[in-house]
Amino acid sequence: MKIYRVKVNGKLYEVELESVEEKAESRPAEPQPVVQPAPTKEGTVVKAPMQGNIIQVKVATGAHVNKGDVLVVLEAMKLENDIVSPASGIVREVLVSKGQNVANQQPLVIIG
Amino acid sequence: MRFTKQIHFSVLSSTNTYLKDNYRSLPNYTVVSADRQTAGRGRFQRTWIDGEDLLLSILLKDDLPTVNIFGLSLVTAAAVHSSLSEIAAPVIKWPNDIILNNKKIAGILIESIICNNRPECLVIGIGVNVNTENYPEDLCEKATSLAIENGKKYSIQELQEKVLEEFSYFYDDFLHGGNLAFLVCRKYSSLIGKEVEINDFKDRQKGVVLDILPNGNILLWLKSGNQEFHSGEITLNANY
């Protein structure tokens, strides 16, 4: 696993890359690089890792969250996924509500 | 032996919750079981009624891409189905309920903790109705147990070992890109050919299940045409 820094449209991202060949025999599909959400002036945008339905919203605008706190619970294909905060901070904005369908990579919460 | 750390509680709020609360300090493949759960859950926080049954959760910390975790529903359903198939003839209600004689005999609740688009852990929760002999009035038409169906009691410990053995088998195949779990879920699907009502959280519509697909999705015939669903709550005759 190697970590690279990539600048896209002026924003800096850290990307972890690992060899597909090393893991190909032990995984059902190729691993995907991990893109750490880069803090922006507007805060850290937490996005949906998959298409699904929001079944719980655990935070409100203005609340303080610690890294690892559950922000929302996203149900997708019979799995309930706790989407946790990648950083400590204040919830700047909650962009989804209970019962809402969301697309893959749709912004859910902004942490500032 | 994959499941080297197994923890048993006589009473626990929820085996899934225990693993989610403690996943950082527990090794991969930790198994937690309990005689009773005080806050056992099905999907969407539904209460799991437990009696003298198998209640266990498996912790997975393998580095699985998010796109692949959906396959675990099929892996788990196939494992539970295969575990029971020597003593009963269950079918699989896509993909997280196991049905025996039109009543639910086992349920699966898979949860994950995701940070930065990657699962930090997955928790596979399994509940099998084994030796419970009575259910509340509102459930007796929907739930059953091995004891009710077969008229005898079973060793919960032996069934747990069987479930873990079968899970390991299907999970290994899954990790190596195999589709054995899908084949089992399709072969023993209770839904193919049946009219169902699907609630996709926006509205309800009736259709007919045409197939379970290799990607784990369900293919439905609807008035508007054939449509593939990856999510949603399937209801069959409003029973489950």
CATH classification of the domain holding B207: 2.30.30.100
CB contact under 8 A, B111 and A81: yes
* Residue range(s) defining the domain that contains residue B219: 195-236
**Residue B182 and residue B202 share a domain:** no
Q: Residues of B with CB below 8 A from A36's CB? A: 116
**Residue B32 and residue B134 share a domain:** yes
**Residue B157 and residue B41 share a domain:** yes
Name the minimum distance, in Å, from the CA of A6 to any CA of chain B. Answer: 16
User: Cβ(B122)–Cβ(B60) under 8 Å?
Assistant: yes
CB contact under 8 A, A83 and B176: no
Instruction: Specify the number of domains making up chain B.
Output: 2
Mean pLDDT of the region B104-109: 94
CA-to-CA distance for B37 and B55, rounded, in angstroms?
Answer: 8
**Residue B109 and residue B163 share a domain:** yes
**Residue B37 and residue B134 share a domain:** yes
**Residue B221 and residue B180 share a domain:** no
CB contact under 8 A, B109 and A77: no
**Residue B215 and residue B182 share a domain:** no
User: pTM of the entire structure?
Assistant: 0.82
Which of B69, B111, B118 is the closest to A82 by Cβ? B111
**Residue B117 and residue B144 share a domain:** yes
**Residue B144 and residue B35 share a domain:** yes
DSSP B239: -
- Phi, psi dihedral angles at B132 (to 5 degrees): -65, 130
Q: pLDDT tens across A71-110, in order?
A: 999 988 778 999 999 999 999 999 999 989 898 899 999 9
CATH number, domain of B52, equals: 3.30.930.10
**Residue B227 and residue B183 share a domain:** no
**Residue B179 and residue B105 share a domain:** yes
**Residue B218 and residue B157 share a domain:** no
Q: pLDDT tens across A58-80, in order?
A: 999 999 999 999 999 998 877 89
Q: Which residues contact B27 (CB under 8 A, 6 or more apart)?
A: B4, B5, B59, B61
pLDDT at B197 over 90: no
